[in-house]
Amino acid sequence: MMPDFPHRHLIGIEGLSPGEINFLLDEAEQWIAFNRSVRKLDDRLAGLTQVNAFFENSTRTLLSFEVAGKRLGAQVVNMHVAQSSVQKGETLLDTALTINAMRPDVFVMRHAAAGAAREVASVMDCPVINGGDGWGEHPTQALLDALTIRRRKGRIEGLKIAICGDIRHSRVARSNLLALRALGGDVRVVGPAALLPSTAELGGAPSFTDFDEGIAGADVVMMLRIQRERMEESLAERLDDYHALYGLTRARLAQAAPDAIVMHPGPINRGVEIASDVADDPERSAILEQVELGVAVRMACLDVLTRERRS
C-alpha cells in the first residue's frame, strides 16, 4: 500500500498532490484543540533530535517549529547562525554535513538562496523541512494558510483568493499559488507591474495591477510584505507611494466580498501594505489565527515526516 505521504522531505508544495496536501491539513487538525489545552505534551517524538538552522531572520517560523517540536517531545536544538562557523566562511554543504554527522532525526532550515533546502536535503540522512528558501518556497506557510482558509470558510474549492503585493520576491506567494490552486481555489495575484512575476511563472493565474479591480468580490485577501531586502535599490525607491496605491484600507476592503477575510504571513508593516484598523479587526483579520494554526501544521509535518524512522 502507498503511504499517505510518500515523501522523505518537505522542500516545497511543488510535487505534492491535492490528496497529500489535504492529508497534512487533516493531520494538523488534531493538534489545534491540543494546543489550546494547558498541558501540551505528547511523547511521539521523544528521544528524537530536531535541529533548526535558520540562516535568515525569522520570528514566527523558527519559534513555531521550536514550539511544535517540543510539544511532540523532541529534543529541539537551534543552531545560532550568527555565532557559528558560517561567519568563518564554511559553506552551506559543509555545515549541513557537520550537522548530519551529529545524527539529527529531522532538520528544519531557512536560507536566503532559492534551492538551498533541496541541496541540503541531498546530503542529509534525515528528513529536511524547508522553512523558506530565498524566493523559492515556504511550504509550511502555504499549508497553514490553506488550513486557516479551510477553517474560516469551510472550503477552499471555488473561493476567490487575491494574493496582493510583492508577488515577485515572495516565496509565500509561490507556495500559496501552488497549494491553493491545487485545492481548487480561484487564485489571482495583484500588485504593481514591477512586483509581478511573468505569466509563465504564474502558471496561468490571472494578474491585476489595479488593486480595486483585483480584489473585487474576493473571499480572501492575502497581503504580503514588500521584500526590500530582495530588491535592487532603484526598485525600492520607486515604491514610495505604495500605501496610496496598494495599501489595504477599510475603504478598499469594501470592494471584496462582504464577509471577506484578510490574511498576512507577517511580519506586517503597518501603514505600508496594510492599515492598522484592518490588521487589528478580529472579524476580518485572520492574521493571528494563521500564527496559531502554524504550530499545528508544523506539528503535523514533524510527526508525518518522522513516522518511518519511529516505526
Catalytic residues: 60-61, 88, 110, 138
The dihedrals phi and psi of 157, each to the nearest 5 degrees, come to -55, 125
Query: Could you say whether residue 265 binds ligand NCD (CB under 6 A)?
Result: yes
By beta-carbon proximity to ligand NCD, the closer residue of 95 and 141 is 141
CB within 8 Å of 288: residues ≥ 6 apart: none
Among 9, 111, 138, 298, binds ligand NCD (CB under 6 A): 138
CB of 143 to ligand NCD, least distance (A): 12
Angle at 132 between CA 130 and CA 134, to 5 degrees: 130
By beta-carbon proximity to ligand NCD, the closer residue of 48 and 179 is 179
Query: Could you say whether residue 172 binds ligand NCD (CB under 6 A)?
Result: yes
Among 4, 22, 34, 60, binds ligand NCD (CB under 6 A): 60
CB of 124 to ligand NCD, least distance (A): 22
Query: Could you say whether residue 171 binds ligand NCD (CB under 6 A)?
Result: yes
By beta-carbon proximity to ligand NCD, the closer residue of 48 and 163 is 163
* Per-position b or e across 255-266, b if 16+ CB within 10 A of its CB: bbbeebbbbbbb
192's grid cell: 504593481
Query: Could you say whether residue 132 binds ligand NCD (CB under 6 A)?
Result: yes
Q: State the Cα–Cα distance between residues 58 and 132, nearest whole angstrom.
A: 10
Query: Could you say whether residue 69 binds ligand NCD (CB under 6 A)?
Result: no
The secondary structure of 263-309 as a DSSP string is: E--S---BTTTB-HHHHT-TTTB-HHHHHHHHHHHHHHHHHHHHHHH
By beta-carbon proximity to ligand NCD, the closer residue of 46 and 288 is 288
E strand spans, 49-95: 49-54, 75-79
Given the rule CB under 6 A, which residues bind ligand NCD?
60-61, 132, 138, 141, 171-172, 225, 227, 265-266
